[in-house]
Amino acid sequence: MGNYTPAETADTTTEKIAASTFADDFISIRVSPNSYFIALFLTTFLSVFLIYLEQDFFAVWLLAASWLTLPLLAYTDRITFDGKRLARTGFLSRFWAWLNSTKYRLKIGDIEQVESQALRALKRGGNVFYRYRTTVQGKNRRFAFASGGEDYRQMIRKVLPLLPANILDNRSIELRDYLAEPKEVLMKAEFARIPSADVLESSLTEFQNPGRNTRAKTGDRKSGVEESERADSLRRLANELRISGYLLQSLEAFRRALLINPKDAWLIFDFARCLHSFAGSEKNEKLRRKSIAALRLAERRAGATDGELLARLGESYFQYGDWRRAAGVFKKAAETIETNFRAARGLAEIALREGKIAHVIHHFAAANRLANAPALRRWTQNETDYFSRLNQDDDYMEMEISRVNLLESFENAKKTCLKIAFAGFPAIIFGLIFDDLIANIGWAVSCVALLVWVGLMFSQSVLSSRVPMDFDEED
């Protein structure tokens, strides 16, 4: 045996436990490489242009340097989480943060908003393969990461449960609660005897009028404790299937849960969101109307006491473009006995859409009073101050309107420049084969268009931030 003391043993054990805890909490996910692909495309185009100008030495060096360094930079550019803060590890991102005098880290307590988007990447039968993109922002820092593997699921499981629900939007809450490994979800569905999507496609009419089918089969049936637990289990399985993209199987699980508990407002709400997703994937207007009807049924079942559900319903109406109904539900949620931050924030966003600045200020001030986290209070106070300055200072409002209009103009100009640049490529190829003059014209058109496009991108990044509220225009 070695010579050691009990104190040394305790210290070593503590260090091992701390190291193990850090290893469990530490997660990293690769940043979306879109910007690196753009840089690689531009440098490759420039290299080919240099070869056309017979500058082979510079062209080869530029091409070799870009193809060796940019993929490596993209591979090492990651977002990490150590249990306390998010950080960006890429060399270029840190250099850019240093150049702008900003931080490349963001503490959990400083996160102000989390938003998630779902993009339909692939559709196969009744299954839709989604690609999720989650954006975390706070203190003028923004981190975005996309799904595509276990890294994303780990990031969601570790980060989102640490945040108050009011910071998360609807889809982020669903990802936090129901995101799972697709194979495990399919195994659960098989264990619950949910048929495959191929089998369920033939019975799609079951969902054309789900309310009538449910009422016809349930009547006044009373659910016992065991059946209630089964309904909860089916609801969770249905949501996991929906998040994983197995929409037909999700609808079948929801249908079975509704047969057991047809008056559960939360269950109807989840079913309505699933049906809306399925209607969008099938481009079925009838099913879309059915999903809205189901949302209204959930609204009636919620009554005037479940403020949380009413606020989530309002966000869904807002997401689906029904601002009038969203405003009504948000107002109903604000009148509940609960302190409803989400309702006040939703009313502020609707007032902003309608151009009612005074109402925006009022609702953000109310949200500030109802905020249950320092980050939310800071964010709502900043929004209140910003819109108050807009409302009081005509010069400041004019500058902000000009900035927003410029951003929109630059976005449209970027699309036009890309179309012009790509239109020049066939002229380049045709000219290289038949006529140098046509090639020269193609190179000139593409080069100028891409140069303007790059300039517009940098201009957008500069104008994306609001004009500082303490900015005073010099006479």
Distance CA 467, CA 475 (A): 17
Q: Which of 188, 179, 177, 194 is nearest to 126 (CA)?
A: 194
Q: Where are the domains of the chain?
A: 34-168, 180-302, 405-463
Question: Of residues 215 and 250, which shows the higher confidence score?
Answer: 250
Say whether pLDDT at 445 is over 90: yes
The stretch 341-365 carries a mean pLDDT of 92
Q: How confident is the model at residue 219 (pLDDT cuts 50, 70, 90)?
A: very low
Q: What is the pTM of this model?
A: 0.83
Under 8 Å CB-to-CB from 193, ≥6 apart: which residues? Answer: none
Q: Which CATH number fits domain 180-302: 1.10.10, 1.25.40, 1.10.3470, 1.20.140?
A: 1.25.40
- For residue 139, give both structure tokens: 């203190």
Question: 3-state DSSP call for residue 159?
Answer: helix
Question: Of residues 305 and 210, which shows the higher confidence score?
Answer: 305
Q: How confident is the model at residue 214 (pLDDT cuts 50, 70, 90)?
A: very low
Measure CA 293 to chain center: 26
Q: Which of 351, 367, 349, 350 is nearest to 359 (CA)?
A: 351
pLDDT of residue 464: 84
Question: 3-state DSSP call for residue 469?
Answer: coil
pLDDT of residue 471: 65
Q: Which of 313, 316, 175, 176 is nearest to 243 (CA)?
A: 175
Q: How confident is the model at residue 8 (pLDDT cuts 50, 70, 90)?
A: very low
pLDDT digits (tens, 9 = 90+) for 261-279: 999 999 999 999 999 999 9
The stretch 103-114 carries a mean pLDDT of 89
Question: Of residues 120 and 385, which shows the higher confidence score?
Answer: 385
pLDDT > 90: percent of the chain: 53
Q: What is the mean pLDDT of the chain?
A: 85
Calculate the alpha carbon distances from 171 to 17, 134, 252, 274, 289 in Å.
Answer: 35, 9, 21, 12, 21
Q: Which of 138, 102, 133, 110 is nearest to 120 (CA)?
A: 133
pLDDT of residue 463: 87
Say whether pLDDT at 1 is over 50: no
Q: How confident is the model at residue 444 (pLDDT cuts 50, 70, 90)?
A: very high
Say whether pLDDT at 167 is over 60: yes
Q: Which of 174, 113, 183, 177 is nearest to 149 (CA)?
A: 183
